[in-house]
Amino acid sequence: MRKILRNTREKFNLTQKEIADKLNISRCTYTNIENGTKNPSFKLAMRIKSVFNYQKDDIFLDL
């Protein structure tokens, strides 16, 4: 999930703070998720999927 999140965020040219704001979470929480030190809740994972417009659940294969 970390590579996918980082690559997608960079593709959209967004900072971790900008994504965190869209998800209504702290930048620290998003950073931990992107780095793989924390797993998102199911609800947050669905919001991440929505923010990045993912159609498939491939983003979650590494969890």
Q: pTM for the whole thing?
A: 0.83
- Note whether 44 and 23 are within 8 A (CB): yes
Per-residue pLDDT of the chain (63 residues; tens, 9 = 90+): 778 899 989 999 999 999 999 999 999 999 999 999 999 998 998 899 899 888 766 666 555
Residue 31, φ and ψ in degrees, nearest 5: -60, -45
Give the pLDDT confidence score for residue 26 in this predicted structure.
98
For the chain, domains (ranges, CATH) are: 3-51 (1.10.260.40)
DSSP 14: -
Cβ count within 10 A of residue 40 = 21
